Structure 1
């Protein structure tokens, strides 16, 4: 167990040895304004200038490894790919106190990261909490974001998320030591043992899991919760002000953020075309991600 500043833990690097289909060198930043001493990990592949950027944001309880089937397609198209791990996830540091994690703790870190990377011509690629957070970002940087690839997610605007989500939230609240890899395997039957182990890799013990425990509790399912105003402002942005290109893919087997939720989001996003439906895809639809990435690249006219 490696303890860092600000009462956080750092997953030992050997936990990430021999990850399947994951040959990307780790990159780190540990001096983001307001997060000094907390190390944020990110993948950064492809041209450093003169190319579109695919900013890939994971959700709960995954990490950037989730994008391993999509990253090669984006790179083949000549793009740059940046895939950070939120604090509490993946190779990023993990504050140990549950209360550290709030909606704006994560959102402000993401904003500081984008400003540090100083990226332009960005395609936001998001799913799950990658969307709950990521979809609120382009309204603050409308000149940076030109494209959207959105999958199985939504905006937190203070409305109930349904019985399926309530059951998930209750499960996490009553099972603080839940098996992350086992959860991913149940939700994504196509995973093999090495891939399941890769999703478990960030968490040597329950001490590292404060972030994964907190995300379900932060979803804005009632109007007084933190971030509702931000979500409502983002909804207005996507409906009225978004002028970029969009592509949507839906994992049709997702019981919470499946077709009804995504069709509602499609209607919200200005000029969003008919979604790509992944018949066998579940919530973590990136695990069926290669054809999604290829279709998005084609839609955006970026294929070489």
Structure 2
């Protein structure tokens, strides 16, 4: 069984701009370890859910400025913390984290919460993992918005990713200033908000195993164990005919070009109002939350109307 760390609740008190109550689901790893996964859950419980999935090294705090706007749709809004991040439990050793395990943990969380008629908004690892859920359970997802993410299958990356993987292989702690703070384009991003990402979930270096291991799970090389899993994801996405929208940032060096791959290969992406959001960096939810919401709400309304019109009832 795995050794598990849990960030104390008091670390999350009085975070700027964040007043959402925590919700928890306990799942069981295949080795028998209990893992508690956190999510924000706002809006009517019987409404169709918008599921927000983040990447590395962020957590649900990344969506704090989008959640109020998305609630205007009348939907339930859920922002989940990946295992090893935010308020979710943190297996204590890097070798505990594999792409297969991340996908399995989130499958178990999804089924435990029995979410259906989902609109998925996913970014970074939230896309790689979240889109695997779409591929495995397409009947549970009504539509998808992909932002600054990709599903690599061992065919190489870009210069940024090559450097990122090489550097992170030996880093004893996450390079927060270089790899996170310096990428934020929002002028209002101050030290208190930075600490909500860095210090709140990770009060000591020993909590960082998950975010340190994530770069090694990026399947840009053909021998990466995640390649077959991502190929499974693509097999499902190539059969996904429901609405699929891409909203990428113009200033993101990590995922540049992946939006064109989605648009080319996902049937549901054809004819959608895809957009490159000017000035949006990799953590676009921090940089351009209002612009994202302004694109998402019409996307929900258009396709809700289409679905209602096609419903024989």
| TM-score, scaled relative to structure 2 | 0.89
Give the Å deviation of 1:227: 2.7
Residues 160 and 92 of structure 1: is their aligned pair in 2 closer, same or farther, counting only changes over 3 Å? same
**What are the equivalent positions in structure 2 for 1:108-187 lying under 5 Å apart?**
108-180=104-176, 183-187=179-183
CA deviation profile, 1:238-284 (whole Å, cap 9, x unmatched): 22x212112211111111212x2222222222132242221111111
**What are the equivalent positions in structure 2 for 1:49-68 lying under 5 Å apart?**
49=46, 51-68=47-64
Asked if the contact 1:85/1:91 (under 8 Å) is kept, the reply is: yes
> In 1, Cα distance between the equivalents of 2:127 and 2:100?
14
- Match of residue 309 from structure 2: none
Residue 135 of structure 1 aligns to a residue in which SS?
helix
- Match of residue 311 from structure 2: none
Give the Å deviation of 1:33: 5.7
1:300 aligns with 2:297: no
Residue 120 of structure 1 aligns to a residue in which SS?
coil
> In 1, Cα distance between the equivalents of 2:226 and 2:169?
21
- Match of residue 253 from structure 2: 255
> In 1, Cα distance between the equivalents of 2:160 and 2:170?
16
- Match of residue 214 from structure 1: 213
Please identify runs of 4+ aligned residues in structure 1 that moved more than 6 A. none
Give the Å deviation of 1:156: 2.5
Residue 261 of structure 2 aligns to a residue in which SS?
helix
Give the Å deviation of 1:181: 5.8
Give the aligned CA root-mean-square deviation in angstroms: 1.9
Equivalenced residue count is 297
- Match of residue 284 from structure 1: 283
- Match of residue 229 from structure 1: 228
Give the Å deviation of 1:136: 1.2
Asked if the contact 1:126/1:149 (under 8 Å) is kept, the reply is: yes
Which sits farther off after the overlay, 245-254 or 169-178? 169-178
Give the Å deviation of 1:163: 1.4
1:95 aligns with 2:74: no
Give the Å deviation of 1:52: 1.8
> In 2, Cα distance between the equivalents of 1:128 and 1:269?
18
- Match of residue 7 from structure 1: 3
Asked if the contact 2:174/2:211 (under 8 Å) is kept, the reply is: no
Give the Å deviation of 1:43: 0.8
> In 2, Cα distance between the equivalents of 1:26 and 1:128?
23
Q: Which runs of 5+ in 2 are unaligned?
A: 305-313
Which sits farther off after the overlay, 274-283 or 200-209? 274-283
- Match of residue 245 from structure 1: 243
Asked if the contact 2:153/2:222 (under 8 Å) is kept, the reply is: yes
